[in-house]
Amino acid sequence: QVQLVESGGGVVQPGNSLRLSCAVSGRTFTAYTVAWFRQAPGKERDFVAAIRRSGGNTDTSFADSVRGRFTISRDNAKTMWSLQMNSLKPEDTAVYYCAVSSRRLITSQIRVTNDYDYWGQGTQVTVSS
């Protein structure tokens, strides 16, 4: 079994930053695609960002609403991924979930929740003055 644990959520004022982390543990598992989704109250779970392994490199994708403000990266430990969120807005308020897939998902798949193998329990991010 593979476990994902998100951390780093909290309450911040608009314009500030937060860094979320996703730690992967459990049986040997190679995550070829790692993504962050978010879900606000009463809304569907939406894609935020993804990072995919491509040979020795990685490529990233972002939702239009966060492009230029959020970055996604793989930490040196190689079993932890981070979502750096800058210039936060009240509309970024949501529960943020980390998801992983053992496949390198194609572009049309990365925004689809059903294509991921494992999910974390979520971490709350609240942006409010």
* Predicted local confidence at residue 18, as pLDDT: 98
When pLDDT is averaged across residues 106-110 and rounded to a whole number, the result is: 90
3-state secondary structure the chain: CEEEEEECCEEECCCCCEEEEEEEEECCCCCCEEEEEEECCCCCCEEEEEEEEECCEEEEEECCCCECCEEEEECCCCCEEEEEECCCCHHHCEEEEEEEECCCCCCCCCCCHHHCCEECCCEEEEECC
pLDDT digits (tens, 9 = 90+) for 56-89: 788 999 999 999 999 999 886 668 899 999 999 9
* Predicted local confidence at residue 76, as pLDDT: 65
pLDDT of 113 over the 90 cut: no
pLDDT digits (tens, 9 = 90+) for 77-86: 668 899 999 9
Task: Please state, rounded to an integer, the average pLDDT across all residues of the chain.
Answer: 93
